[in-house]
Amino acid sequence: MLFNSLTFIVFFTVVLALHYTVRSWGVQKFILLAASYIFYAAWNPPFVILLWISTLVDWYVAKALDQKKAPVKRKFLLTISLAANLGLLGFFKYGEFILDNFIKLMHLAGIPFEAAAPNIILPVGISFYTFQTLSYTLDVYFKKTQRCQSFLDFALYVTFFPQLVAGPIVRATDFLPQCLKPRRATRDQFGWGLYFITLGLFQKVVLADGLLSSASDSIFNHKDGAIYFVDAWLGLLAFSAQIFCDFAGYSTCAIGVALCLGFILPDNFRSPYAAVGFSDFWRRWHISLSSWLRDYLYIPLGGNRTGTLRTLFNLMFTMFLGGLWHGASWTFVAWGLLHGIYLITEHLLREFVPKMQWVGTMLGRFVLGQLTFIMVSLAWVFFRSADFSSAWNLLRSLFDYSGSGAQLLSSLDIAQVVIVITGLLASHWYLHEKRLEHAMQDLPAWWVVTVWTTMLFGLILMQGGGNAFIYFQF
């Protein structure tokens, strides 16, 4: 069930009506839980079983961890949770990838091994809810949080429909306390919720699908040789804007939907294309994932506390797994490793190169910010390309200034990309140190109404083709 569909509008209207009509908080939570299962079952009903498995395993493991004191028993219980959750994730998401690579290795060794294609269907959002349930078990194991005492609350935490299939990845410490007392949005919260839903849909339907997808698809789907370098750069920048508008659009919708129900979800994006440096970028992009990798992988590995060489390894290994989390493909691994190289280079420069005074100036920060954006955009080549051959072809085209190559973009495509990317970068720099709602409150009421009306008008004009959000595949 897509946020950008009439089906969801009807579904959400019914959920809102029931949520604010029923007076019992226990019944309200049960309705939200049932609605969450219906929301997920709309994709593929049998996969609801996977949600049940994750919920039951982590509920009983956490309950046992609360009772067991012996370190060996606690480690055994944690192993059960890790094996169950990562086992399901590994089978459904990486099963075919592992088999394909095993077959290739056999062929390289001269062994003519073949196997029937398993044709495994990837459950929507499995990476997101797996990391969410694991964070709860890990927090209980490391005694960072108390075990949840209500199975209904925990089940709702695992399956809460606004962020179930594409994040943000919510921590139990942020969500479960909100289940203790009735949640009803104030007038301001409900208004902001509707505004965020409108903004998220505008980013997805009008910008990502309407104005950017044509240029992006034209460049990345090109298979026949070189591309004119201007078109190549514009197509790459179009995807940089598209991936942000698509993914941030979903997160913004999720935050808005939850806010209308009285729940508060964490921010997932904070003007990432105004980041100054790559560590700053990962503090602003997909915050719920980057903070998860930091807290449950990078820091347990030793973080930056164990010397330079170990720190560099920790950075690279974390980004390797971050790339693999996004997809079962070596191109995603390459994207993650490239960001690992970026972070390592930045770390070494900070440690061994004296800080130059101009870096701290407004102009210096702007120049470094633009360099960060260009390097991040170059990494998107591997993220978006179907294979390495296509990625190398595009990279060669980006730096082939001979004027040769196919001209793929129309004048309309070029105008749309230039307008959107200029507006996107300007808005990110304007909101660099601000939250959107605070910035909006500083504006006159007529300006807020005008912006909202413009977005609604754009949604009515575009309407969209009901395209799924890009991050659903992860």
What is the Cβ-side half-sphere exposure of residue 405, based on CA atoms within 13 angstroms?
Answer: 25
Which pair of structure tokens corresponds to residue 247? Answer: 């993914």
CA distance 54 to 68: 21
Burial class (CB in 10 A: 0-12, 13-18, 19+), 176: buried
Taking the C-alpha atoms of residue 100 and residue 102, their distance in angstroms, rounded to an integer, is 5
Rg over alpha carbons for the chain, rounded to the nearest Å, is 23
Neighbours of 415 (CB within 10 A): 12
CA 157 and chain centroid, separation: 18
Q: Which DSSP category does 165 fall into? A: T
Identity of residue 3: F
From CA 287, how far away is CA 56, in angstroms rounded? Answer: 27
Q: Is 297 exposed, middle or buried (0-12, 13-18, 19+ CB in 10 A)?
A: middle
Report how far apart the first and last C-alpha atoms of the chain are (Å, whole number).
16
Identity of the amino acid at 106: M
CB 129 within 8 A of CB 54: yes
At residue 228, the 3 state secondary structure works out as coil
Q: Which of 19, 286, 326, 339 is catalytic?
A: 326
Question: Taking the CA of residue 176 as centre, how many other CA atoms within 13 Å lie in the half-sphere pointing to its CB?
Answer: 20
Asked about 222 being catalytic, the answer comes back as no
In 3D, which of 394, 468, 389 has the Cα closest to residue 234? 394
Query: Rounded to the nearest 10 degrees, what angle do helices 411-430 and 213-220 cross at?
Result: 110
DSSP secondary structure code for residue 406 in this structure: B
Beta bridge partners of 406: 227
DSSP three-state, residue 393: helix
Active site residues: 326
